[in-house]
Structure 1
Amino acid sequence: MKNVEVSVEGNILILKVDLTKEFGASSSGKSLIIASTEGNYQLPDREEKIGLNVYKKK
């Protein structure tokens, strides 16, 4: 994962992303990547998965 902190408190999913960071251009070159789970991420000790991409226009 890039710039994503994941935690679960009870039945509440908490995601933390630093919006000041950038990890370069997307594969299309149209966006700047801020954070990503880089595909689906299995939540520890849970059945659920998440897939997250945070980006902005270049």
Structure 2
Amino acid sequence: MKNVEMDVKGNTLTIKVDLTKEFGPSSSGKSIIIASSEGNADVPGVDGVRVGLNVYKKRK
């Protein structure tokens, strides 16, 4: 994962992303990647639950 932290407390999943980071352009070149789970990722400590996350901004 790039710039993604997941934490589970009780029945609540919290996802942290630092919005100041950038990882360059997307494969299409239309946006700038800020964070990605790089596909579906297991939620820590919760069987059978997965998350797919992409955070990006429009390229100027």
> 1:43 offset after TM fit, Å?
1.2
Equivalent in the alignment of 1:55: 56
Q: Say if 2:32 is the partner of 1:32.
A: yes
Question: Percent identity between the aligned chains?
Answer: 67
CA distance in 2, matches of 1:22, 1:52: 15
Q: Can you list the C-alpha shifts for 1:15-37, whole angstroms capped at 9, x where unaligned?
A: 00000000000000000000000
Give the match's secondary structure for 1:45.
coil
Structure 2 gaps of 5+ residues are none
Q: Aligned Cα RMSD in Å?
A: 0.6
Structure 1 gaps of 5+ residues are none
Q: How many positions carry a matched residue from both structures?
A: 58
Give the match's secondary structure for 1:3.
coil
Runs of 4+ in 1 over 2 A off after TM superposition: none
CA distance in 2, matches of 1:2, 1:45: 20
